[in-house]
């Protein structure tokens, strides 16, 4: 269902502009240790400079032992990310006035999944105001404005970068220490894309990517990064901060007091909170001179620097990422584990660059020895022997828009850096990825894959039917394997084992990562969406209009009102109260409500003078019998988005009443959604691609679906007049469509462009991979297939 919602959002708003993946650092932060009870402090600002920080193993154990703390921290991080970085206010259904990092966002759709170590991450599709909404719109802009490519590149470079903020190529060579550094780029060896192997018992080393132009020392890209980090590393940490005036300190205290008040609610004690904050923040905000006199701490940092210098060879021998000296550096641990605090806004500019580079060199780097997920069968590569993410990436001297990706500047030494935002990196201190989905026909394929990838199958914890079918399929496969081995099973044994398999599936614990399970308990869903959704079944409505005998009807409860209802359920309330009867056309389709309730819950049990009966309600009966005054000339698609079936009261305006032929005319009326819904087409029916409709019956089916969605109607003849074919009726109506309906129809057609392109590319890649496997002539070019596997 979530995949339909993702594509429904694309039907409503067009192609998504960005594909963002974020993995909040919840298993290695002091915040998690605080939530899990690993440290006891009154405020996170009491934790200063590693004083109370547990070691890394203890932090991970705390996360494993408290799944709810992990899920809570993840949820709060994502909500903060959406509110501040995405800049969207779900309560109003609109972007915040100031926008966000990506601009003004009109919609987003995200799904949570688990990683190998059980932590959670979010895949998020983002629709940005001003971005092209379809392939044809992009191509029209590109052809009309010669500067459009430069504008797209400027926007892209403003939110994502492949480069570290410190210049790797201006750092002196460690061997010759020449005052005028000069490095020559080398082509990456083919082995750099493969899983490293031992050679005669010798551990593999980092691939050579450059050489010094003065002494010819061969070095790896990782060496260049390490050398630049050591060169820019502060001599003393924490660095000395400029002193704050008392008014500036009071400003920080007021901001923190406002936050604590919003969290504490009625338990908020202004005097006690103010005294505590002044005691804990005064030293924190005043400066850091006291840390410079901490001899033990400075000796620790001096020892760490010596260790880093010693371990920085021209090409390091393989070591596991979590054992790497730079990953264990005390300064990195402090930067990545501590929450973003007020003092970080006071750092000198050169220290800020060092902080960003340090975080990016660990959190945003693809490890040179790769990992197991790199070597799955992929569309990108000829087989499972090459990194499917195509690291190390090709260098790019000048940014450009490629055939299927925007290629930003990537220089020597940055081949393993994954694109990042310095703002997100400093604020959230976590791994993330930003893909810009703006482009032509080739990009439509990537957009189609991004929508599918965002909603790819996770453990099936939301559908009991899917779990039962999966268990049954597994049982059948085992029976086939048994038969192939020569063992014959009787029908009785097969039935008994199938039943046992089904019962075991119903009663066993599902293998779901603890944090994901806790997130379901916390939010009841793993989806983060900007809008609410409502289902539309075109197939059922077509059957209803054609009066088929197998048309499905819903049984709804109606109350014949014989006395006055409660006075508080007047016209105003009826306009915002939504029925929750199961299967109704109104909010039974909504995945979530926004303060619209069932009026029957407020009315309480039936009183004398009322009687409840069940009546059959046909598909789209609310729309067909809609009131003329409010919504006469409106399509079913627009009606579903804006209106719902509400409970009727004595004071309800006649403008909101259904027509008398409506089955629920006496008890229901029209209500208006406070926030518009996004209709989701169900039943496996979409508007077909018109270009594929070559036969008359195919064109007629396309016309039926499109007319039912976008042309106002009450009876069948409103859609297709007598004497006309469905296709003729569509051709007559299409020029008169409203602007909104025409846009949605165009976006629905654009969906097929990406799908067809994806199918065509998949076939061509399979053929190309077969040729490559026969000829063994090198690796796939990253310019064409860069980052299709979003991981």
Residue pLDDT, tens place only, 123-152: 999 999 999 998 889 989 999 999 999 999
In the predicted structure, residue 787 carries a pLDDT above the cut 60: no
User: Contact at 8 Å (CB) between 609 and 563?
Assistant: yes
Does 543 fall in a domain?
Answer: yes
- 488 confidence band (pLDDT: 50, 70, 90): confident
Q: Residue 4 pLDDT more than 70?
A: yes
End-of-domain residue from the set 299, 333, 354:
354
User: 186-202, pLDDT tens digit by residue?
Assistant: 999 999 999 888 777 78
- Give the tens place of pLDDT for each residue, 422-472: 999 999 999 999 999 987 666 777 888 888 888 876 554 445 566 677 778
Q: How confident is the model at residue 514 (pLDDT cuts 50, 70, 90)?
A: confident
Tell me if 115 sits within 8 A of 123, measured CB to CB: no
What share of the chain in percent tops pLDDT 70? 78
CB-based contacts of 531, cutoff 8 Å, min separation 6: 9, 93, 107, 675, 676, 677, 678
Say which residue, 260 or 223, is predicted with more confidence.
Answer: 223
Q: 646, 661, 676: which is the final residue of a domain?
A: 676
In the chain, count of helices (H) and strands (E)? 29, 18
- Based on the fold, state whether residues 541 and 672 are members of the same structural domain: yes
The average pLDDT across 534-541 equals 92
In a domain, 193, yes or no: yes
In a domain, 316, yes or no: yes
Answer yes or no: do 185 and 268 share one domain.
yes
Question: Which whole number is the average pLDDT over 726-755?
Answer: 92
Domain assignment present for residue 603? The answer is yes
Neighbours of 786 (CB within 10 A): 21
Looking at residue 775, its pLDDT comes to 40
Instruction: With a cut of 90, say whether residue 346 has pLDDT above it.
Output: no
Backbone angles phi, psi at 652, to 5 degrees: -65, 135
Instruction: Look at residue 363 and tell me if it is in a domain.
Output: no
Q: Give the residue from 657, 676, 695 where a domain finishes.
A: 676
- Over range 479-496, report the average pLDDT: 83
E strands in 376-519:
400-401, 406-407, 431-436
- Residue 644 main-chain phi, psi, to 5 deg: -145, 170
Q: Among 81-85, 283-287, 699-703, which is the least confidently predicted range?
A: 283-287
pLDDT tens-digit readout, 586-635: 443 333 333 443 333 333 344 455 557 888 998 889 999 999 988 889 99
* Residue 551: per-residue pLDDT: 87
Q: Is the pLDDT at 572 greater than 50, yes or no?
A: no
Considering the domain architecture, whether residues 484 and 624 belong to the same structural domain is answered as: no
Q: What is the mean pLDDT of residues 660-675?
A: 92
**Could you tell me if 568 and 647 are in contact, meaning their C-beta atoms sit under 8 angstroms apart?**
no
Question: DSSP H helical segments within 197-240, as ranges?
Answer: 221-232
pLDDT at 515: 87
- 268 falls within a domain: yes
Give the range with max mean pLDDT: 249-258, 271-280, 383-392, 602-611.
Answer: 383-392
| The pLDDT value given to residue 586 | 40
Supply the pLDDT for residue 294. 63
Query: Quick one: 494 and 606 in the same domain?
Result: no
Q: Kindly state whether residue 142 falls inside one of the protein's structural domains.
A: no
The yes-or-no verdict on residue 742 having pLDDT over 50 is yes
| Number of compact structural domains in the chain | 3
pLDDT band at residue 73 under the 50/70/90 scheme? very high
Whether residues 481 and 560 share a domain: the answer is no
For residues 471 and 556, membership in a common domain is answered with: no
Asked if pLDDT for residue 254 goes beyond 80, the answer is no
Looking at the fold, whether 208 and 315 belong to one and the same domain comes out as yes
The pLDDT of 732-751, averaged and rounded, is: 93
Looking at the structure, tell me whether residues 610 and 483 fall in a common domain.
Answer: no
CB atoms within 10 A of CB 768: 15
DSSP 587: T
Q: How confident is the model at residue 269 (pLDDT cuts 50, 70, 90)?
A: low
Q: Cα–Cα distance between 398 and 476 in angstroms, integer?
A: 56
Residue 424: is it exposed, middle or buried by C-beta count within 10 angstroms (0-12/13-18/19+)? buried
C-alpha span between 321 and 241 (Å, rounded): 32
Q: Is the pLDDT of residue 643 over 90?
A: yes
CB atoms within 10 A of CB 763: 10
Distance CA 692, CA 702 (A): 10
DSSP structural state of residue 384: T
Q: Compute the distance between CA of residue 26 and CA of residue 429 in angstroms, rounded to an integer.
A: 10
Q: Where does the pLDDT of residue 270 fall: very low under 50, low under 70, confident under 90, or very high at 90 and above? A: low
Residues 601 and 644 in one domain: yes
Give pLDDT tens digits for 6-28: 999 999 999 999 999 999 988 87
Q: Are residues 491 and 552 in the same domain?
A: no
Q: Cite the beta strand spans of 569-711 per DSSP E.
A: 610-617, 643-647, 668-672, 678-681
Task: For residue 194, give the 3-state DSSP assignment.
Answer: strand
* pLDDT bucket at 79, cuts 50 / 70 / 90: very high
Contacts for 387 with CB less than 8 Å, ≥ 6 apart? 193, 194, 370, 374, 375, 381
Least confident of 362-376, 381-395, 671-685: 381-395
Give yes or no for residue 509 having a pLDDT over 60. Answer: no
Count CB-CB contacts under 10 A for residue 760.
11
Q: Examine the domain organization and report whether 598 and 658 are in the same domain.
A: yes
Q: What pLDDT is attached to residue 55?
A: 77
Whether residues 495 and 606 share a domain: the answer is no
Residue 588 and residue 578: Cα distance in Å, rounded? 10
- Lowest-pLDDT range of 135-139, 349-353, 547-551, 597-601: 597-601
Structural domain that includes position 201: 168-354
Record the tokens describing residue 191, joined without a space.
């082995």
- In the three-class reduction of DSSP (H, G, I as helix; E, B as strand; rest coil), residue 672 is classed as strand
The residue among 450, 446, 443, 445 whose CA lies nearest residue 139 is: 443
Q: Which residue has the higher pLDDT, 404 or 674?
A: 674
pLDDT of residue 263: 57
Q: Is the pLDDT of residue 503 over 80?
A: no
- pLDDT averaged over the chain? 81
Mean pLDDT on 635-639: 96
Q: Report how far residue 243's alpha carbon sits from residue 256's, in angstroms, rounded to the nearest whole number.
A: 19
Predicted pLDDT at 556: 86
What is the rounded distance in angstroms from the CA atom of residue 37 to the CA atom of residue 41?
10
User: Lowest-confidence range among 14-18, 163-167, 480-484, 635-639?
Assistant: 480-484
Of the listed ranges 512-516, 642-646, 686-690, the one predicted with least confidence = 512-516
pLDDT of residue 281: 64
**Mean pLDDT, rounded, for 283-306:** 67
Q: Residue 571: which pLDDT band, with cuts at 50, 70 and 90?
A: very low
- Per-residue confidence (pLDDT) for residue 604, from 0 to 100: 39
pLDDT at residue 255 above 90? no
Is 275 inside any structural domain? yes
Cα–Cα dist 731/729, whole Å: 6
Mean pLDDT of 38-54: 63
């Amino acid at each position: 269902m979530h995949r339909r919602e993702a594509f429904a959002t694309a039907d409503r708003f067009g192609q998504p502009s960005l594909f963002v993946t974020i993995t909040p650092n919840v298993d290695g932060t002091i915040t998690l240790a605080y939530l899990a009870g690993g440290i006891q402090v009154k405020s996170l600002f009491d934790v200063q400079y590693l004083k109370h920080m547990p070691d890394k193993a203890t932090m991970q154990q705390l996360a494993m032992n408290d799944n709810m703390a992990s899920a809570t921290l993840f949820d709060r991080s994502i909500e903060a990310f959406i509110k501040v970085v995405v800049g969207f206010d779900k309560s109003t259904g609109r972007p915040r006035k100031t926008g966000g990092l990506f601009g003004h966002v009109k919609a987003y759709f995200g799904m949570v999944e688990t990683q190998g170590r059980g932590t959670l991450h979010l895949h998020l599709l983002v629709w940005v105001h001003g971005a092209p909404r379809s392939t044809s719109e992009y191509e029209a802009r590109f052809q009309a404005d010669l500067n459009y490519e430069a504008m797209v590149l400027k926007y892209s470079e403003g939110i994502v970068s492949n480069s570290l903020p410190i210049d790797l190529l201006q750092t002196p060579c460690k061997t010759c220490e020449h005052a005028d550094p000069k490095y020559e780029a080398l082509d990456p060896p083919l082995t750099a894309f493969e899983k490293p192997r031992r050679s005669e018992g010798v551990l593999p080393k980092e691939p050579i990517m450059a050489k010094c132009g003065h002494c010819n020392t061969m070095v790896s890209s990782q060496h260049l990064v390490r050398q630049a980090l050591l060169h820019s590393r502060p001599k003393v940490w924490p660095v000395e901060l400029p002193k704050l005036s008392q008014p500036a300190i009071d400003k920080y205290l007021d901001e923190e007091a406002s936050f604590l008040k919003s969290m504490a609610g009625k338990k908020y004690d202004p005097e006690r909170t103010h005294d505590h904050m002044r005691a804990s923040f005064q030293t924190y905000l005043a400066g850091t001179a006291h840390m410079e006199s901490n001899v033990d701490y400075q000796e620790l940092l001096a020892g760490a620097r010596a260790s880093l210098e010693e371990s920085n060879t021209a090409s390091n021998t393989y070591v596991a990422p979590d054992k790497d000296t730079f990953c264990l550096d005390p300064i990195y641990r402090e930067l990545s584990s501590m929450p973003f605090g007020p003092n970080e806004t006071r750092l000198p500019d050169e220290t800020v660059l060092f902080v960003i580079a340090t975080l990016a060199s660990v959190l945003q780097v693809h490890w040179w020895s790769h990992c197991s997920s790199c070597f799955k069968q992929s569309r990108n590569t000829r087989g499972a022997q090459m990194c499917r993410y195509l690291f190390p990436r090709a260098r790019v001297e000048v940014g450009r828009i490629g055939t299927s990706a925007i290629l930003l500047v990537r220089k020597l030494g940055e081949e393993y850096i994954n694109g990042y935002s310095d703002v997100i990196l400093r604020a959230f201190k976590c791994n993330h990825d930003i893909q810009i989905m703006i482009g032509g026909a080739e990009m439509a394929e990537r957009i189609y894959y991004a929508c599918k990838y965002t909603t790819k199958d996770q453990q099936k914890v939301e559908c009991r039917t899917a779990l039962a079918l999966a268990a049954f399929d597994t049982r059948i496969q085992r029976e086939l394997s048994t038969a192939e081995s020569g063992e014959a099973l009787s029908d009785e044994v097969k039935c008994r084992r199938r039943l046992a398999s089904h019962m075991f599936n119903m009663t066993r614990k599902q293998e779901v990562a603890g944090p994901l399970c806790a997130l379901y308990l916390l939010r009841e869903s793993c989806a983060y969406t900007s809008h609410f959704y409502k289902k539309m079944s075109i197939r059922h409505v077509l059957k209803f209009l054609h009066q088929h005998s197998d048309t499905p009807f819903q049984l709804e409860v109606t109350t014949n009102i014989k006395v006055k209802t409660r006075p508080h359920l007047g016209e105003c309330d009826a306009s915002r109260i939504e029925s929750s009867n199961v299967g109704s056309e109104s909010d039974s389709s909504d995945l979530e409500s926004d303060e619209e309730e069932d009026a029957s819950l407020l009315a309480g049990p039936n009183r004398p003078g009322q009687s409840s009966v069940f009546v059959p309600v046909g598909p789209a009966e609310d729309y067909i019998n809609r009131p003329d005054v409010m919504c006469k000339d409106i399509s079913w698609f627009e009606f579903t988005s804006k209106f719902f079936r509400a409970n009727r009261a004595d004071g309800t305006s006649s403008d909101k009443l259904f027509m008398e032929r409506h089955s629920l005319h006496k008890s229901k009326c029209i209500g208006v959604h406070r926030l518009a819904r996004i209709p989701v087409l169900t039943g496996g029916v979409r508007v077909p691609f018109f270009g594929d409709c070559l036969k008359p019956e195919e064109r007629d089916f396309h016309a039926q679906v499109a007319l039912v969605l976008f042309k106002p109607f009450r009876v069948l003849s409103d859609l297709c007049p007598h004497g006309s074919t469905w296709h003729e009726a569509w051709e007559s109506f299409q020029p008169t469509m409203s602007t909104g309906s025409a846009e949605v129809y165009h976006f629905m057609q654009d969906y097929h462009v990406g799908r067809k392109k994806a199918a065509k590319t998949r076939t061509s890649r399979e053929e190309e991979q077969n040729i490559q496997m026969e000829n063994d002539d090198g690796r796939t070019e990253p310019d064409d297939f860069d980052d299709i596997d979003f991981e």
